[in-house]
A and B are shown apart, each in its own frame.
Chain A
Amino acid sequence: DAGVTQSPTHLIKTRGQHVTLRCSPISGHKSVSWYQQVLGQGPQFIFQYYEKEERGRGNFPDRFSARQFPNYSSELNVNALLLGDSALYLCASSLSSGIQETQYFGPGTRLLVL
């Protein structure tokens, strides 16, 4: 079975631009979460979606937004990119949004902002 997939794998943008990252969850999983992992640090929670509704939001500015589609795939959008947005963006899927559910991570999208 396919795991969590993310696209693109790598991306280079300049300051002020906009970026869209995509995630396809494991088949049957209805919850998708997004994390930002800056080099040398642990992941930081950005969003969680379940059944197309936002279930949680981390401490990130409004430049960050996300949505989940009827097929449970998800997009993370970042506007007005800053140098500090350079990071590995991880998507994780789980059967539901509860803490008891194990999250399965994709390989990530590495974003470099110049």
Chain B
Amino acid sequence: AQSVAQPEDQVNVAEGNPLTVKCTYSVSGNPYLFWYVQYPNRGLQFLLKYITGDNLVKGSYGFEAEFNKSQTSFHLKKPSALVSDSALYFCAVIGRGGYQKVTFGIGTKLQVIP
């Protein structure tokens, strides 16, 4: 069965420090991987996606993620965290079958401490 794991409920990082939000997945076939961010009382906002090609994907607001096929991971990273990055982050995977087969993780709350 297709699945996404976000092993940390919450990640705390000091402002200016690098941040990593972890995501691992299980899917049949080639994965399509996404990161979204959700601010309080808001919908999801697209950050970046991996479809094919370069394993390092750069996205919005200075975020990037690295697709690692052997470790089935797609960790989200940013070199220098901002207080405004504090939000809920969701990893999602699609295997075969289009968006009806999308699976989201349960989310990781990122808290950037001033």
Interface residues in B58-114 by Cβ distance below 8 A to A read: 90, 92, 94, 97-107
Contact of A45 among B46, B100, B105 (CB under 8 A): B100
Q: B28: shortest Cβ distance to chain A, in Å?
A: 15
**Is A90 in the interface zone, CB < 8 Å from B?**
yes
Question: Cβ of B51 and Cβ of A99 under 8 Å apart?
Answer: yes
Could you tell me which residues of chain A, from 79 to 100, have a CB within 8 Å of some CB in chain B?
A: 90, 92, 97-100
A residues less than 8 Å from B98 (CB atoms):
48, 55-56, 97-99
Chain B residues within 8 Å of A, Cβ to Cβ: 4, 32, 36, 41-46, 49, 51, 90, 92, 94, 97-107
The reply to whether B90 and A43 contact each other, CB–CB distance below 8 Å, is yes
Q: With a CB–CB cut-off of 8 A, which chain B residues contact A98? A: 98
Number of interface residues of A (CB under 8 A): 26
B104: contacting residue among A42, A48, A55, A107, CB under 8 A: A42
Given A41-B106, A42-B106, A105-B45, are A99 and B100 also a contact pair (CB < 8 Å)? no
Minimum distance in angstroms from B101 CB to a CB of chain A: 8
The proximity string for A residues 9-52 relative to B, scoring 1 for CB distances below 8 Å and 0 otherwise, is 00000000000000000000000010000001111110010000
Which residues of chain B come closer than 8 Å to A42, judged between CB atoms? Answer: 4, 90, 92, 103-107
Q: Chain A residues near B49 (CB, 8 Å)?
A: 102
Chain A neighbourhood of B36, CB < 8 A: 105
B-side contacts of A4, CB under 8 Å: 43
Task: Report yes or no: A40 in contact with B43, Cβ–Cβ below 8 A.
Answer: no
